[in-house]
Amino acid sequence: MADATRKPTPEAQADRRITEILRAAQSWSSEAPHALEPAIRAVCIRLAEMVADQRHYLAPLPEPQESERRTVLALVADKLRSAPVTQGLGEHLKALEELELRSTGSWATIASAQSEWITTAISYLESCARTLPAGERPDPYWADDVVAGIIASARALIGIDELHARTEARYSGGVPRPTLPPED
């Protein structure tokens, strides 16, 4: 019999978070026309990947918690780019990449970059909605609500909330954060 008090492995924690992120994407697309589901899912995956990539800019936790957090967030970011998660979304992910909505270090450190990517995600969803017949299009501002909800959901599911992110940015304990080389 398995020990019920045993902590899940980083891999299991990452898998759980991926499942929850995909469930959140499904939830956010449930009120939109079915044709928009792949676009909403692609935006959710891309924004969740960006949130997970903030791991390099968080104040360190005591060990071994820090190593575990970095491992879990790295696994989440990697799994969000994997074929099983992105299956059937290639067209949308490519379009988002062409709009420069892809994970970079500036997402975590530059507030204007976050605002630009949020605006890009909203514009992308609105452009997808414009391809639908007039009677099937969602209400005005639906894309704003979806993107805001996706970001809030992703941060909560990944474990990085807005207050935490602002606190981290403002009070890094007087120690400059290390700048890591970009990952390939």
pLDDT in tens, the chain (184 residues): 555 678 899 999 999 989 988 888 888 888 889 999 999 999 988 888 877 776 666 667 788 888 888 888 889 888 988 999 999 999 999 998 888 655 455 555 566 667 788 888 999 999 999 999 988 999 888 899 999 888 888 777 776 655 455 555 555 454 445 555 555 5
Cβ atoms 120, 99 nearer than 8 A: yes
Q: How far apart are CA 71 and CA 18, in angstroms?
A: 14
**Structural tokens at position 133:** 């017949």
Q: How far apart are CA 154 and CA 95, in angstroms?
A: 21
pLDDT for the residue 163: 47
Q: Where are the alpha helices (DSSP H) in 53-110?
A: 65-80, 83-86, 90-98, 106-109
User: What's the domain count of the chain?
Assistant: 1
Residue 4 maps to a domain:
no
Residue 117 maps to a domain:
yes
pLDDT for the residue 6: 83
pLDDT for the residue 107: 53
**Structural tokens at position 106:** 């500036």
Residue 177 maps to a domain:
no
pLDDT for the residue 132: 93
∠ Cα 37 138 49 (to 5°): 40
pLDDT for the residue 175: 47
Cβ atoms 118, 21 nearer than 8 A: no
Q: Tell me the whole-structure pTM to 2 decimals.
A: 0.75
Of 34, 67, 20, 74, nearest to 52 by C-alpha is 74
Domain span at 67: 10-169
Residue 126 maps to a domain:
yes
Cβ atoms 108, 76 nearer than 8 A: no
pLDDT for the residue 171: 52
